[in-house]
Amino acid sequence: MHKQLEPLVKQIRATKAQLERLSQEIEALVAEGKIPVGLGALTVSLIDGEVCDWKRFLHRKAVGSYTGCCPSEYSSGGVQRFGAIDRHGNKHVRVLLVEAVWRLLKWQPGWHARQKYLEKLRVGASLKKKMAVALARQLAIDLWRWRTGRATAAELGWTVASATSQLLGTK
């Protein structure tokens, strides 16, 4: 049995080493720049990798639509109703954004979107999850503004630190 498992163990170790190397390369790509505290170098680089080019979006609605965090709409005549999110966007980006929102709520008290939804976040758990998705859409728009130079991190209410200092746990 040991002889049968030995090739699998070698393959697992090689894959693990490759994953470590690729993670370090991804983090090194972002390490030179300053990123918002709590967002993380790996999260920023993964989102950048999924989006590829932030400049391809002409306006904020295109960014929100790409994430799939926009509400579905049921309209007839003069009646307009919004439903759950449509999920027609990039699932990987949406998951990364929702995870990042929970970290930003803790580490970025000055974030303008946090201030906007602060009262609603203090209500029940189901509304918190809905607000997290709404904040994920806002985070995508803020990242687009930040990455394309339309706004600075300070204008968005973010405090920034270098990626290497975040990896070491210092500011």
* 98: phi then psi, degrees, rounded to nearest 5: -65, -40
pLDDT tens-digit readout, 134-161:
899 999 999 999 989 999 989 999 988 7
- Report domain extents, the chain: 45-55+91-168
The answer for residues whose C-beta is within 8 angstroms of residue 64's C-beta and 6 or more apart is 70, 137, 140, 141
pLDDT tens-digit readout, 36-53:
888 887 888 889 889 988
pLDDT class of 166 with cuts at 50, 70, 90: low
- The pTM is what? 0.74
pLDDT of residue 105 exceeding 80, the answer is: yes
The answer for residues whose C-beta is within 8 angstroms of residue 36's C-beta and 6 or more apart is 104, 108, 153, 158, 159, 160
Q: What's the gap between Cα 65 and its chain centre?
A: 14
